[in-house]
Structures are given as C-alpha cells and as structure tokens.
Amino acid sequence: KTQVEQSPQSLVVRQGENCVLQCNYSVTPDNHLRWFKQDTGKGLVSLTVLVDQKDKTSNGRYSATLDKDAKHSTLHITATLLDDTATYICVVGAPQGGRALIFGTGTTVSVSP
Amino acid sequence: EAGVTQSPRYAVLQEGQAVSFWCDPISGHDTLYWYQQPRDQGPQLLVYFRDEAVIDNSQLPSDRFSAVRPKGTNSTLKIQSAKQGDTATYLCASSLGLSQNTLYFGAGTRLSVL
C-alpha cells in the first residue's frame, strides 16, 4: 500500500487562481513533512518543511499546513503563475532508519494563461 | 553556494551496456542519497551513505547496480548491464546528517535504455 498519497493526481488552474494540494500518509514515525516542486525533467526544489504536531508555514505564495494527528498536509498556492506549472511532491521523513524519506507520487499542476 | 552537481544530464544506452552516474554533493554534507525516479512516479531510494559508509542499500538491485563514495565526498552510481526497466531519472541528494533543512537535490541524470 502507498504510504504517502497525494490528491488530486493532476489539476488545471487559470493564472491568478488559487489551488490546494492534499497529502495523506500512513508513515510512522513522522518526524517531518516536506513539499517539493519538480519542473519537468529537473530535480526537486524544496518549498517548505513542517515539523510540529500541528504546523503552518509560509514561503511567498506557497503556504502549507500539517496535522500529525490526522497524518494530513495541505499545500496552498496563491495567485498562480505560469511558472507554477510543475509536479508537487509530498515527502514524509522519519528521524532514523534506512528509508529516510518516503515520497508521494505527486500532483501535477498546469497553469493556463 | 554550489548546489548538488550531477553528470551526465542525459544518457541513452542499448540494453546490456554499462553506465556510470556521478554526483558531487554540497561541500560539507556528510549524507548522500541516490534515488531512482521512473517517469510519472515519485523517487524511490536506492542507497544512501553517511560519509563513505553505506547505511542502506536494501533497494539497490545488487546484481547490476553498485554505488560507492570512497572519500565520503563525491559518489558514483553504476549500472553494469542496463535493462529497459532501468529507464528513469536518477537523482542525487545530500544533507548534513538527516537534517531536512539542509537537504538539496541535484538536477538528475535522465537515462533511456532502448
């Protein structure tokens, strides 16, 4: 079973609109959660990391929440730009162990003019 | 500050050929990861090192894949006899310990096995 599930799998938004991405996970222990942006054919760029039991972060037009009790995170993109077109990957990290990071399969966001 | 550098950026092989990927982590980062990311999937950890020591290579296909980090800095991932199923992007990442605030990824090497 997939340990980190993201939804929707893909979405299309018009430039200037807001969008929300969801991440549900079953990883234990869940030391932290990170959201990455991956442009097509490129590496992963970290957007934010959430650590606390109930956490909120903000990085420009990106904001995120984490609820460890619910094992749920959201990523909000405000006033989308064409450059926001990418795949957004949710990653859950354990404090120790061989598999240090558990990756979701991503949400592909397409921003149209 | 230089990021994680990987080379080559692209590789195209016939089945049975060998290929090596090279990674130069951020200076001072003791932990280095290799991930395999098939198209339209999330990255899957292959192996990771703390300094020159392999910490976990349980997901590395040991019959054809090998990874080394002899001096605890640069690392090489090698596929001895490539298969079509190896087609993927190979990502290298580094961090200071398991500190996620210092985790950075390279741009990856995109491998196509024909």
pLDDT digits (tens, 9 = 90+) for A4-54: 999 999 999 999 999 999 999 998 888 889 999 998 877 888 899 898 999
Q: How many CB atoms lie within 10 A of CB B62?
A: 10
- Chain B CB contacts of A44 below 8 Å: 43, 91, 93, 105
Q: How confident is the model at residue A97 (pLDDT cuts 50, 70, 90)?
A: very low
Nearest CA to CA, how far is B87 from chain A (Å)? 13
Tens digits of residue pLDDT in A51-96: 899 999 999 999 999 999 999 999 999 999 999 999 999 999 876 5
- Give Cα separations from B106 to A8, A67, B28, B89, B90 (angstroms): 26, 29, 16, 11, 9
Q: Which residue of B has its CA nearest to A33?
A: B100
Distance CA B75, CA B24 (A): 7
Distance CA B62, CA B52 (A): 18
Task: Quote the pLDDT of residue A95.
Answer: 66
Question: What is the DSSP pairing of strand A86-93 with strand B109-113?
Answer: unpaired
Question: What is the DSSP pairing of strand A107-112 with strand A10-14?
Answer: parallel
Selected residue of B103, B110, B111, B112 to mutate for chain A interface (largest A Cβ count, 10 A): B103
- Chain B CB contacts of A92 below 8 Å: none
Instruction: For the sheet with B65-68, list strands across it.
Output: B5-7, B19-24, B75-79, B65-68
Task: Quote the pLDDT of residue A96.
Answer: 53
Say which of A45, A97, A103 has its CB closest to residue B43.
A103
Task: Quote the pLDDT of residue B50.
Answer: 92
Q: How many CB atoms lie within 10 A of CB A72?
A: 14
Instruction: Tell me the pLDDT of chain B (114 aa) as tens digits.
Output: 568 999 999 999 999 999 999 999 999 999 999 999 998 788 888 999 999 999 888 889 889 999 999 999 999 999 999 999 999 999 999 988 766 667 788 999 999 999
Task: Quote the pLDDT of residue A98.
Answer: 36
Nearest CA to CA, how far is A44 from chain B (Å)? 6
**Chain B residues in contact with chain A using a Cβ-Cβ cutoff of 8 Å:** 4, 33, 40-45, 48, 55-56, 58-59, 89, 91, 93, 98, 100-101, 103-108, 110
